[in-house]
Amino acid sequence: MTQTQSPWRYVGIAIVLLLFALPPIWLFLSSLKSQSEIFQWPPSLWPQAPTLQSYYDTFSRANFLLYFQNSAVVAVLSAVLAVTISVMAGYALAKFRFKGDTVFFLLIMSALMVPLQIVLIPVFLVLRDLGLLNTLAGLIIAPAATPSGVFLMRQYILTIPDSLLEAARIDKTPEWRILLRIIVPLALPAIGTLLAFNLVYRWNDYLWPFLIITEQEKWTVQLALANSVGRFGIDWPRLLSISVMSVLPMLVMFIALQKTLMNGLMAGAAKE
């Protein structure tokens, strides 16, 4: 891409920053306020008496670190599993002609068209029959197949030239090596995006944990977050502080992932 920087570009970037950064900043600033200051009118733009009380309260309940740990285990394992099988399936659908390929593709896509909210009860019974209720394993395995991930990988792998694969096949490279040594490195930008997406999705997911987990020791952060909404009102400081804390790991992950990806891309470009 061209690297010339016009002043319009900076204007555009400034607008983008304003629109996307302000709500999260407001979220963060509000998390430093007490419940009464949150609802003060006129609102205080800057916290008048900034306090970390709600963060302290959240952390002083010892279990919160456990919820974090549960979420992390589930998100990481589930995302890795999801990306792995999505790359496999996406590759199959993009680069092979085989009997029933269209049917398989549509079958996978059709799974995307069923909102989980609607099939809650049948899914619950399946989970029970497989003995996955109230287990982190259930949380990791049950949602691991993601049609959108398969689709994303298929579309990206479509752009990889067939000639590379044919050359490898003429060299009698085994198929698994073609996948690992050619497809995976070339699809790295899409894999990175998909990994980020899956981590975020699994980390933020509420419905599956709600369905599967009953014991408090196995709660994820989102279950704890949802519990800020009581029968007669919302515990705003708690909700805001947990929201902020639950985003931090995602932020760190994204920054790290972006850096690795960028380096990978540059290295790839340098080789060419």
Partner 1 sequence: MANPVQTQPAPRRWSLGRLGRVAWPYLLLLPTVALLFIFTIYPLLQGIVMSFFTRGIVVVPQVESTHPVFVGLDNYTHLLGDKNFQVALLKTIGFVVVAVPLQLAVSLALAVLLAPQSRVNAFVRTIVFFPSMISMLIVGVIWAWLFGRNSGLINYVLSLFGIGAVPWLEDELLAQIAVVIVWVWGGAGFNMMVLIAGLTAIPSDLYEAAAIDNTSRWRQFTRITVPLLQPSIVVVVVLGIIEAFKVYELVVSLTTGGPGRATVYLIQNIYETAFRTVNQAGAAAAQSVVLFIILMVLTILQLRFARKRS
Partner 2 sequence: MKLMKLGTIALALSTAMLSPVFASELKLMWYVDGDEQEAKLRGMLDQYTAANPDTTFDLQIVPYETTGTKFQQFAASGSFPDVSLSSSMPPIIRPFLVDWAEVNGPEWIDQFVAGWADGAKLDEKVIAAPLDVTAVGIYYNADAFAKAGVEIPADGWTWDEALPKFKEVAEKAGVRFPLVWDVSAHRFLTYEFQYGNHVFSEDEPLTVAMDDASWEKTMDQFIAMANEYMPPGLWSGASSDSPVDMFVNQQAVAYMSGSWQIGNFGDNAKFKWVAGPTPKGTVASSNVGGNYLLAFNTSPRLEEATAFVNWMTSPEIQAEYAKTFGLLPANKNAPAVDYASADAQAAVVAFQKELETSPRYAATDQAWPEMQATWDSIKAGITQAYVGQITTKEAVAGIRAAAEAAIAAGR
Cα–Cα distance between 247 and 31 in angstroms, integer?
13
> Tokens 């002043």 sit at which residue?
7
Stretch that binds partner 2, among 7-15, 117-125, 175-183, 262-270 (CB under 8 A): 117-125
CB of 88 to partner 1, least distance (A): 4
* Residue of 12, 24, 50, 131 that binds partner 2 (CB under 8 A): 131
Q: Which of 179, 192, 189, 73 is nearest to 135 (CA)?
A: 73
If one asks whether residue 36 binds partner 2 (CB under 8 A), the answer comes out as: yes
Binding partner at 195 among partner 2, partner 1, none, C-beta below 5 to 8 Å by kind: none
If one asks whether residue 128 binds partner 2 (CB under 8 A), the answer comes out as: yes
Nearer to partner 2, 70 or 253 (CB): 70
272: helix, coil or strand? coil
Tokens of 147: 């049609």
Write the CB contacts of 266 (distance below 8 Å, at least 6 apart in sequence): none
Binding partner at 165 among partner 1, partner 2, none, C-beta below 5 to 8 Å by kind: none
CB of 251 to partner 2, least distance (A): 25
Cα–Cα distance between 145 and 109 in angstroms, integer?
11
Centre a 10 Å sphere on the Cβ of residue 153 and count the other Cβ atoms it contains. 28
CB of 266 to partner 1, least distance (A): 7
Q: Which of 259, 180, 206 is nearest to 75 (CA)?
A: 206
Cα–Cα distance between 189 and 269 in angstroms, integer?
13
If one asks whether residue 35 binds partner 2 (CB under 8 A), the answer comes out as: yes
Nearer to partner 2, 72 or 182 (CB): 72
- Amino acid at the residue 272: E
Residues in the chain: 272
Binding partner at 216 among partner 1, partner 2, none, C-beta below 5 to 8 Å by kind: partner 2
Show the binding pattern over residues 65-104: x = contacts partner 2 (CB under 8 A), - = does not: ----------------x---x-------------------
Q: Which of residues 146-205 bind partner 2 (CB under 8 A)?
A: none
Nearer to partner 2, 203 or 236 (CB): 236
Count the alpha carbons within 13 Å of 227 in the hemisphere toward its beta carbon: 13
Radius of gyration of the chain (CA): 23
Tokens of 109: 């896509």
Stretch that binds partner 2, among 14-22, 99-107, 118-126, 175-183 (CB under 8 A): 118-126
Q: Which of 142, 143, 147, 256 is nearest to 192 (CA)?
A: 256
Contact residues toward partner 2 (CB under 8 A) are: 35-36, 38-41, 57, 61, 81, 85, 120-121, 124-125, 128, 131-132, 135-138, 140-141, 144, 210-211, 214-216, 226-227, 229-236, 238
